[in-house]
A and B are shown apart, each in its own frame.
Chain A
Amino acid sequence: MTLRNGDKLSLKAEDGQTRTVVLGNDVVATWLRYQPVLLKDDAWTGYRAVAAHEEGDTVFRRAQLIPLQPAIRNLLRNGTPGSFVDIAPVAGMLALLLHRQVEPGRFWRGKLSLAGEAADPSDAPPPGYADYFGLRTAARPLPPYPVHPASRSEAGDAAGLAGLLPPQIAFARLSAHLARPTGILLPAMLERLAPGGMILLADYDYADFPGATAAIDRLLADRDGGLFLPLPLGGGIWMRN
């Protein structure tokens, strides 16, 4: 299929209505062709490594991960101290994404166990979830990420990992999926975040994880000392002053 500037994409939603959006130069050219040129080698290389590992180069993944590279470059330029923390059921994406920019000894990954985790009512998916656009979530198990021997690796449930976090964090990625572990781990990360540090809340606004989104809203809505910015295609960034 060839898309041209001004082409329209129409989708039929679960309420039976068709929604149409115009794909302008910004999508057709920027996304597919111009972006790799603009984002320079190190940024694109890290992203490509993640996409290859996860067997998917998706719009969602690009939207969330590609902007991180210049953000991290600026954070390093500022000399922000601390570790690069990555907590998720399959953790380690951050090291793969940023392996050209950050020294391996600064990476700290926490493999989060959700076994026995009781779901909060807010974790329930919205009505019509399963048939949204007639699509469904892929259920492929993700292989473990490669681990550099210099990086530190831990495993445990949310409370266990919160107790093991490094004393200072420069950048963190949290993808705990559910409300309760998000509610345990995010405050612990915020406490340790260095001035000028950032946290990527990977589950925010992601349709699979409404409980995590609600927990993040609760924790950050009135929090001082920083700024929370949801990203347009999901995920959100907390930037500490």
Chain B
Amino acid sequence: MTDSLVQSWRQPETGRLLSVTFDWSTLVLWDRLLSAGRPDDPLWADLRAQLGLFPGSDSVGRRMRLLALGRLAGAVMRSGVAGDVAECGCAAAVSTTLIASQLQRGGFAGRLHVFDSFEGLSPPQAEDAVPPDMATPYGHQSNHGTNRRFAVPLDFVRARLQAFPFIDLYQGWIPERFPEVADRRFALVNIDVDLYQPTRDALEFFWPRLSPGGAVFIDDFHIVDWPGATRAVEDFVDGLPSPPAAVLPLALGGIILRKGDA
């Protein structure tokens, strides 16, 4: 019998040994992420179904962020925040399906607006460069230069989402199609566009249109591959005349910004 598993890494630049302990409770919770989840919580079944379809995009961090996003969607529904829901960057619609399932279960009466180029990512800019000292440790392989990797055909996504009649798909580079929803209010916005400029554009557009008590989830925050998204969130929050009511980054990437009353 052991108490825990200790994993150690040697930092290539300094030679320092870093370690972290995967303790007992973590392993139990990981098992939930890996298998059955909470039997009384249908979100876990939704999550498993999605991950099973796209095993190539699966990782512990991805599971945690999807779980947090699904829970946020459910919590926003339960709290009765008024407004539509939007998603910027859907790729193969894994997160879209997860959000839509929670909305459908909660009796959502609004629209879910989904924006994507369906052609992959736009060109990165200076803010998106992975620092050189981050580029090689741990077998890291930058996602830059592989922008087509996220290109999923519109017809494929439309077919996947046909069970949710409240979804509207908008094909185009962010923020080209945003004006079409300029008169709407939003309860929840999911931003997963990886790069600085579209992340910043999405925050600038949707934050003023977010209802009191509503929330924005930015998937790429603190993800090593996408420093531009982290920078965009920091620049945006620093520039707000009034801070968000709540800022909650998650331990393995992703951040929630919640808007206060009035």
Whether B252 and A27, one on each chain, are in contact in the complex, defined by CB atoms closer than 8 angstroms, is yes
Contacts of B215 in A (CB 8 A): 227
Contacts of B230 in A (CB 8 A): 38
Contacts of B125 in A (CB 8 A): none
Given contacts A5-B138, A58-B22, A229-B75, contact A32 B260 (CB under 8 A): no
Binds A, one of B60-68, B94-102, B144-152: B60-68
Q: How far is the CA of A28 from the CA of B258 in the complex (A)?
A: 29
Select one of A6, A17, A67 contacting B249, CB under 8 A.
Answer: A67
Secondary structure type dominating chain A contacts: mixed
Contacts of A77 in B (CB 8 A): 243
Select one of A4, A59, A67 contacting B22, CB under 8 A.
Answer: A59
Binary CB contact string for chain A from 55 to 90 against chain B (1 if under 8 A, 0 otherwise): 011111111101100110111011000000000000
Q: How far is the CA of A205 from the CA of B40 in the complex (A)?
A: 13
Q: Judge if A191 is at the interface, Cβ distance under 8 Å.
A: no
By beta carbon, the residue of chain B nearest A35 is: B222
Q: Judge if A162 is at the interface, Cβ distance under 8 Å.
A: no
Whether A29 and B137, one on each chain, are in contact in the complex, defined by CB atoms closer than 8 angstroms, is yes
Contacts of B154 in A (CB 8 A): none
Total chain A interface residues with beta-carbon distance under 8 A: 75
Whether B140 and A29, one on each chain, are in contact in the complex, defined by CB atoms closer than 8 angstroms, is yes
Given contacts A27-B61, A229-B72, A229-B248, contact A5 B140 (CB under 8 A): yes
Q: Judge if B171 is at the interface, Cβ distance under 8 Å.
A: no
Given contacts A26-B223, A30-B224, A237-B248, contact A207 B67 (CB under 8 A): no
By beta carbon, the residue of chain A nearest B35 is: A19
Within B16-62, the residues touching A (CB, 8 Å) are 18-31, 33-35, 58-62
Contacts of B76 in A (CB 8 A): 227
Q: Judge if A105 is at the interface, Cβ distance under 8 Å.
A: no
Extra 13 A-B pairs, beta carbons < 8 Å, given A33-B138, A77-B243: A1-B8, A24-B61, A26-B59, A31-B251, A56-B23, A57-B21, A71-B246, A71-B248, A71-B249, A132-B24, A134-B1, A138-B4, A241-B212
Binding site for B on A (CB under 8 A): 1-6, 9, 11, 13, 17, 19-35, 38, 56-64, 66-67, 70-71, 73-75, 77-78, 132-138, 195-196, 198, 205-208, 221-222, 224, 226-234, 237, 239, 241
19 A-B pairs in the complex with CB atoms less than 8 angstroms apart: A3-B7, A5-B139, A21-B33, A21-B59, A21-B60, A24-B59, A25-B224, A33-B137, A34-B222, A57-B21, A59-B21, A74-B247, A134-B1, A207-B29, A232-B252, A233-B26, A234-B25, A234-B29, A241-B260
